[in-house]
Amino acid sequence: MTGYYEPLSYVVPPAEDGIMLKTILHDRMKLSRKLLSRLKLTAEGITVNGERRYTTSRVRSGDVVEIRMQEEESDDILPQDIPIDILHEDDQLLIVNKAAGMIVHPTHGHYMNTIANAVVFHWRQAGRKVRFRPVHRLDRETSGVLAIAKTPYAHQHISAQMQANGVDKTYVAIVHGRVREDSGTVDEPIDRDPASPHVRIVTPSGYPSVTHYEVLERLGEAATFVRLRLETGRTHQIRVHMNHIGHPLLGDAMYGVSPEREKTVAGEPLDRHALHAARLAFAHPADGRPVAFEAPLPDDMARWLDLLRRGGSGSGGYLE
């Protein structure tokens, strides 16, 4: 028998006495039309003081409006016992620190060893029925904070914040060369490369894309450690924008220096691009309070920084 996720509640304040229930659902609880239509068809989807109501009915001060969503599972994702670094979990969200090298969701040819397989296993072990809903994606080689919604409402709520530029997405990266300006903004449209659909390029006909960067540390002439904040979330945006201004990410075989030109450091090869999702902040879907989640710099990037600090722009650096 299908159960329900924990209900979300809203207590009608005196100032909203007499307004329509649908106003509460749309404007206060921020339900999308799609989710509202779905809840209308659910036995206990929408209640006021524990009773079903038409959305055109009026509510009174002190009424408790609740929405309940039916439990779902990702039946197409095989659970797999893979360790994951959980930063936070509650009834609405699971926040993980994604390891570099892991794909977020199974794709053609990669059905196992993904974040999804690990998360589904975690929920099955806890006896929870939850569908895997990543709110955003990180490239396979990118490490750091990844938000996963545990309910349709949480997914819709955070997605709406992203579309309204209400989510703070902060990354850190190590890029080639010495970035001269202490801070700057790359405001250049991005779209697919017609010659290679998997590659993105800066093009006048592309989608608006904005990346802000700030220098954290200059590592001689060889490289620079930077903090980046996204206003938009285009595929490969940071990698494309930093390459566009002449500072591709270290280890980025697609947009950066070719692997045969990129040196190892103390015999250690760069096996991924040096990009880490350091922080994610937004309004929590349950009650609107601001929340922020951070993932520490991973060991490999910390090691590269240390080697660059000691090597400078000489033989210990990454560039020829």
Q: Which residues belong to the active site?
A: 139
- Residue 210 phi, psi dihedral angles, 5° rounding: -130, 125
In residues, how long is the chain? 320
The H or E element spanning position 122 is helix 115-125
Residue of 97, 316, 99, 301 lying closest to 217 (CA atoms): 301
Structure tokens at 74: 């990702």
Report whether 280 contacts 168 (CB < 8 A).
Answer: yes
Q: CB-based contacts of 128: which residues, under 8 Å, 6+ apart? A: none
Give the Cβ contact number of residue 299 at 10 Å.
9
- Tell the residue number behind the tokens 């969200």, with chain if given: 93
Question: Which helix (H) or strand (E) element contains residue 304?
Answer: helix 299-311
Residue 228 corresponds to which tokens in the numbers above? 């980046």
Positive or negative CA dihedral for 89, 105, 274, 171?
Answer: negative
Kindly write down the DSSP assignment for every residue of 251-264, as one continuous string.
T-TTTSS-TTTSPP
∠ CA 242-222-168, nearest 5°, is 35
